[in-house]
Amino acid sequence: MRSTSDTLFQPISVLVADSSQLQSQLLVGALRRRPEFKVSACEAEAASLVHELHKTPFSVCLLNPTQCDDMCFTLIRRIRAEAPHMPVVLLIESYDHELVIGAVRSGVRGIFCLDESPLRSLCKCIHSVARGEPWFSHQQVLELLDVVSQVPSLRVVNDRGRTLLTPREEQVVALVAEGMSNRDVSRELSLSEHTIKKYLFRIFDKVGVSNRVELVLYAVNHSETRTAEWVPGIPA
């Protein structure tokens, strides 16, 4: 007779989307030997993934693409659109800063390096994301915190590509473009509202606009987002 715990036990349904058939077979075989998982597999491309997601609800998707590039990030967003409540774990061989940021912005809930961690760690990763918990290494978390803590900056140029503004003025433009009021900008940059107003008048003069709306429109057409170092909050 089956116990109550056996009756209540529900395996975690895992979809392995791998660009390598051999690697997929090895990974799926290893996971299927674990009774807590119910594993399916498909190719790491949009048509196959969409077909599987429409056919069966999954608890977790393990995505192992050929390359971790813009096409990969687009595929992650497609998966999230088709199954918004299913966490995606990106399987990688090695990672860098841009990969971590791009993957998280695309919607992954975990990044797992196959070459650096054993299978038991991957099993822990699957359990964690299935519970709604993210899975990132300590270094990856530090990199994400660095990005979140940075003040955004827009490199504003004229028609000849010449930089028009100082780093602090570029930060002010970026925050205004995000819809912040003078008070919000002053709090973000630890400056007085009076100083922010002085920055804005100076920026208006340099760019050749007369109000915030014109400044935002100019920034949209004559700027690019870039990583910004913190500029000390000194008075203008």
CATH number, domain containing residue 15: 3.40.50.2300
Q: Which has the closest alpha carbon to 212: 161, 157, 172?
A: 172
* Residue 232 placed within a domain: no
11, 36 Cβ separation under 8 angstroms: yes
For the chain, the domain total comes to 2
Q: Of the candidates 146, 167, 185, which is a domain's last residue?
A: 146
Angle CA 137–62–41, to nearest 5: 160
Residues 110 and 202 in one domain: no
Q: Is the pTM higher than 0.85? A: no
pLDDT confidence of residue 28: 94
* Residue 231 placed within a domain: no
Mean pLDDT by 10 residues, the chain (236 residues): 53 94 90 95 93 94 89 91 94 84 89 87 96 90 71 66 81 85 88 93 90 81 53 44
